[in-house]
Amino acid sequence: MVRSGTLILNVAARLLLPLQLMFSWFLLLRGHDEPGGGFIAGLVAAGAFALYLFAYGRRALEAMLKVSPRDLIGVGLLLGVASTLPAWWHGQPFLTAQWWTIPLIEVEASTPLVFDIGVYLVVLGSVLTAIVALVETDDDA
Partner 1 sequence: MQLAVLGGFGVAAMAPLLYRWCGARAAIVMALLPTVIAVWLMTLWPTIAGGETLWREWAWVPGLDITLTFMVDGLAWLFAMLITVVGALVLVYAGEYLHDRRDLPSFLAVITAFMMSMLGLVLADNLVALFVFWELTSITSYLLIGFNHTDPAARQAARQGLLVTVGGGLALLAGFVMLAQAGESWSLAELTERGERLKAHALYAPLLTCVLLGAFTKSAQFPFHFWLPNAMAAPTPVSAYLHSATMVKAGIYLLARLHPALGDTEPWVVTLSLVGALTMACGAFLAIRHTNVKTLLAYSTVMALGALTLLLGIGTETALTAFVAFLLAHSLYKGALFMVAGILDHETGTRDVTAMGGLRHVMPRTALVAAVAALSLAGLPPLLGFIGKELMLESLLAAGHYRAVILPLAFLAAFLTLAVAAIVAIRPFFGPRRETPRTPREAPPGMLAGPALLAVLSLSFGLAPGLLESLVSAVIGGIGAGPVETRLALWHGLNPALVLSLASLVLGGLVFYRWDRLRGWLARLEPLMARGPEAGYEALLRGLVLLAEWQTRLLQNGHIRNYLIMTLLVLVGLVGHALLMRQTPSLAFTLEVYPHEAAMAGLMVAGAVAACVVRSRLTAVAALGVVGFAIALTFVLFSAPDLAITQLLVETLTVVLLVLVLFRLPRFATLSTPIERLRDLVVAGLSGGLITLLMLAVLAGERLPRISDYMVANSQSLGHGHNIVNVILVDVRALDTLGEMFVLALSAIGVFAMLRFHAGSCATQRGSGTRGDDDG
Q: Which of residues 96-125 bind partner 1 (CB under 8 A)?
A: 97, 99, 108, 110, 112-113, 115-116, 118-119, 122-123, 125
Q: 102-137 b/e with 16+ CB inside 10 Å = b?
A: eeeeeeeebbbbbbbbbbbbbbbbbbbbebbeebee
Q: What is the DSSP letter of 34?
A: S
* In the complex, least distance from residue 124 CB atom to partner 1, rounded to whole angstroms: 10
By CB under 8 A, residue 16 contacts partner 1 = no
* In the complex, least distance from residue 81 CB atom to partner 1, rounded to whole angstroms: 7
Instruction: With CA atoms as reference, report the closest residue to 132 among 85, 77, 64.
Output: 64
By CB under 8 A, residue 44 contacts partner 1 = yes
CB 115 within 8 A of CB 80: yes
Among 1, 9, 16, 29, binds partner 1 (CB under 8 A): 1
Q: Which of residues 75-94 bind partner 1 (CB under 8 A)?
A: 76-77, 80-81, 84, 88, 91-94
By CB under 8 A, residue 2 contacts partner 1 = yes
By CB under 8 A, residue 129 contacts partner 1 = yes
Helices (H) and strands (E) in the chain, counts: 6, 2
By CB under 8 A, residue 57 contacts partner 1 = yes
